[in-house]
A and B are shown apart, each in its own frame.
Chain A
Amino acid sequence: MMIELMDITKSYGSEENLYPVLRGISFNIQDGDFVVLLGPSGSGKSTLLNVISGLERPDSGRILYDNTDITAMSDEELTFFRKEYVGFIFQQYYLLPNLTVDKNVKMGADLAGNRNYRQIIEAVGLVDKMDKYPSELSGGEQQRVAIARALAKKPRILFLDEPTGALDEETGRLVLDYLCRLREEYRFTMLMVTHNNNIAEMAGTVIRMNSGRIVDRYNNSTIKSAYEIGW
């Protein structure tokens, strides 16, 4: 699924104190690519991720998924779009606290009618934790549940907002390694926001942002694994 962004702008605040976060962003993402959005805090990368994924609407511009403009969609259509195509992994995990690991993953699986979701729990190494609640897991384990939940709905595009931001180095590497292996297996497009320059070495395409603008964009000739990059 090809994604095309055309002159996206987004501002926050009231009319008197309008703060532009995205200032005319345009680029394409090829089907199956692993794209990293790099930039310092406040550069607008998380807002851009939210806008591309349909969680937020831009003030102007168009976002085309295989020539279908999602900015023209109603709320119900956007919900359906997210259901059909999109998976999310957030820095804060956002697991449902009242549900076990198994049921949290089932939340994603049910949307895609995926009855074999337990294979994914196995793939992320949490079979022995299936009956645990999120509060009974470590940060790394919670993030792996979030990964399993996102993948259980068989997304075409996976959006990740600082997925290793709250993890230590070792757990962070483990999570990234899982993600890359699963991407190869399930063949989805991945768009990850991070401020860690080294993670960019794992991606096919790197987009650098600053002050709401794209300042650089390049493709990596050699892609490194999670255990080859610095931290």
Chain B
Amino acid sequence: MIIQIKDGIKLIAISIISCCAVFVCNLFMNFNIDIARIKGLISNPEVMTFYEAQLTMSRVTCAVSGGCLLLTSVIMLFFYIKHYIDSHRKELGILKALGYSNIKIAKGFWVFGLSVFTGCGLGFASSYALMPLFYKVMNPDVPMHFNIILALYLVILPAVFFCGLAIIYSCKKLKRPVLDLLRDRESSYAGKKRRKEQKDKEQSFIQDLKQATVKGRPALMFFIALASFCYSSMMQMSFSMDELSSRMFAVILIVIGIILACTTLFLAIITVVNANTRSIAIMQAFGYSWKDCSGAILGGYRLLAYIGFAIGTIYQYLLIKSMVSIFSKTSADIPEYKFDTKSFVVVLISFVIIYELVMRRYSARIKKISIKEIMLK
């Protein structure tokens, strides 16, 4: 079978996201279960209000961070599977031609769920390491327990869910004619659509290439925009949370935000560079300068990255604004939320620096490989 365990391990971004999601959720869910145990002991109405507020905060945090990260993981899993199938069309076509059914091939994709299992396991274990400190900060009166049921909900079930999802989605994506896969060609619908886009446009080849490269790989286009969106929203949200929640909670969010944001952005850029290496080599063989090649092929993604960043900024602003308005109905202590211009500027500058540096570093690596070597790959 062509899908091996090492292919599953490549999905390190999903492992990191799962790790962060389970880390946050386990902290708050464990605290939630433990705090619920002492509910009967509370008789003071003021303490009860504080108790209710902590319970609500735990639930909202679990729902928002867990939900967002779960959604990101699912999108990334779909991206990886699609990217894998697209870049292994010939091998998969041979298997289908030999008589392997879609479901038989798709079953091999279960290994992609391993990345989730690894990440969830790590997140689960590391959250217990931090839990004593977390309880101390949140409410020292709540005794800490190890709630084994959470291992089922946060490690086993997500891993099984992702294994199943990987099989179902890959089975759906494998439903293509064998010849299309063998000849490494896309569906006729996509061909017609792109043909329409390329027709009747009299502009320089470099402009044509810039547009065709970006539009020709919608999955990559989406991935780079998603990574920039994640970077923008997670980083800005983390910095803004500093004013709205406890110091410890803000630190956790900032660390998780930085790890997630940098990982997704880094992986997106590497994927983009690797996917376009051959086209750059062909152009260089013909005499296009390095600047022309990288500008036309890799530069096309820059606009998408900034669009993703802008959407991420709006998204995080609206999300925090709505969360604050919900909480302010129950508590008068919550300050009014305003757009954090300082965070925006800092995050934007860091985004520009990281994006340009990683893109330059990885594209410079292609420059060092001989044209022949790239073309032989």
Question: Which A residues form the contact surface with B (CB < 8 A)?
Answer: 50, 55-56, 75-76, 79-84, 86, 88, 90, 92, 94, 96-100, 102-103, 106-111, 131-133, 135-136, 149, 153
Contacts between the two chains (Cβ within 8 Å), count:
93
Contact of A110 among B186, B199, B206 (CB under 8 A): B206
Q: Are B289 and A76 in contact (CB under 8 A)?
A: yes
Tell me which residues across on chain A come within 8 A of B212, comparing CB atoms: 96, 98-99, 103
Given A56-B372, A80-B289, A98-B215, 11 other A-B residues pairs in contact with their CB atoms under 8 A: A83-B286, A83-B287, A84-B287, A90-B375, A92-B375, A94-B282, A97-B184, A97-B216, A98-B279, A99-B212, A153-B286
Q: Which residue of B lies closest to A159 (CB)?
A: B285
Tell me which residues across on chain A come within 8 A of B194, comparing CB atoms: 98, 133
Q: Which residue of A lies closest to B200 (CB)?
A: A131
A-B contact pairs, 19 of them (CB 8 A): A55-B370, A76-B289, A76-B290, A79-B287, A79-B290, A83-B287, A94-B285, A94-B375, A96-B279, A99-B208, A103-B198, A103-B205, A107-B286, A110-B204, A132-B195, A133-B185, A133-B194, A153-B286, A153-B287
Q: Which residue of B lies closest to A153 (CB)?
A: B286
Contact of B198 among A55, A90, A100, A110 (CB under 8 A): A100
Q: Which residue of A lies closest to B204 (CB)?
A: A110
Q: Are A131 and B279 in contact (CB under 8 A)?
A: no
Kindly provide the distance from the CB of B25 to the nearest chain A CB, expressed in whole angstroms: 41
Q: Which residue of A lies closest to B289 (CB)?
A: A79
Bound-complex Cα distance A56 to B213 (A) = 27
Tell me which residues across on chain A come within 8 A of B186, comparing CB atoms: 135
Tell me which residues across on chain A come within 8 A of B216, comparing CB atoms: 97-98
Bound-complex Cα distance A81 to B287 (A) = 7
Kindly provide the distance from the CB of B10 to the nearest chain A CB, expressed in whole angstroms: 23
Q: Are B205 and A56 in contact (CB under 8 A)?
A: no
Kindly provide the distance from the CB of B212 to the nearest chain A CB, expressed in whole angstroms: 5
Kindly provide the distance from the CB of A13 to the nearest chain B CB, expressed in whole angstroms: 14
Q: Are A99 and B198 in contact (CB under 8 A)?
A: yes
Residues 189-209 of chain B, each 1 if its beta carbon lies under 8 Å from chain A, else 0: 001001100110000111011
Interface of B: prevailing SS = helix
The answer to whether the Cβ of B183 comes within 8 Å of any Cβ in the partner chain is yes
Q: How large is the interface on B (under 10, 10 to 19, 20 to 34, 35 or more residues)?
A: 20 to 34
Kindly provide the distance from the CB of B275 to the nearest chain A CB, expressed in whole angstroms: 11
Indicate whether A111 sits within 8 Å of B199 (C-beta atoms), given known contacts A96-B209, A103-B205, A106-B208. Answer: no
Bound-complex Cα distance A144 to B278 (A) = 20
Tell me which residues across on chain A come within 8 A of B343, comparing CB atoms: none
Q: Are A79 and B284 in contact (CB under 8 A)?
A: yes
Kindly provide the distance from the CB of A82 to the nearest chain B CB, expressed in whole angstroms: 4
Tell me which residues across on chain A come within 8 A of B375, comparing CB atoms: 90, 92, 94
Q: Are B282 and A56 in contact (CB under 8 A)?
A: no
Tell me which residues across on chain B come within 8 A of A97, comparing CB atoms: 184, 216
The answer to whether the Cβ of B219 comes within 8 Å of any Cβ in the partner chain is no
Tell me which residues across on chain A come within 8 A of B183, comparing CB atoms: 135
Bound-complex Cα distance A113 to B336 (A) = 61
B205, B217, B284, B287 pick with most chain A CB within 10 angstroms: B287
The answer to whether the Cβ of B371 comes within 8 Å of any Cβ in the partner chain is yes
Kindly provide the distance from the CB of A204 to the nearest chain B CB, expressed in whole angstroms: 26
A84, A96, A149 pick with most chain B CB within 10 angstroms: A96
Q: Are B287 and A82 in contact (CB under 8 A)?
A: yes
Kindly provide the distance from the CB of A156 to the nearest chain B CB, expressed in whole angstroms: 12
The answer to whether the Cβ of B283 comes within 8 Å of any Cβ in the partner chain is yes
Tell me which residues across on chain B come within 8 A of A90, comparing CB atoms: 375
Indicate whether A107 sits within 8 Å of B283 (C-beta atoms), given known contacts A55-B371, A55-B372, A100-B195. Answer: yes
Kindly provide the distance from the CB of B48 to the nearest chain A CB, expressed in whole angstroms: 63
Q: Are A80 and B287 in contact (CB under 8 A)?
A: yes
Kindly provide the distance from the CB of B88 to the nearest chain A CB, expressed in whole angstroms: 15
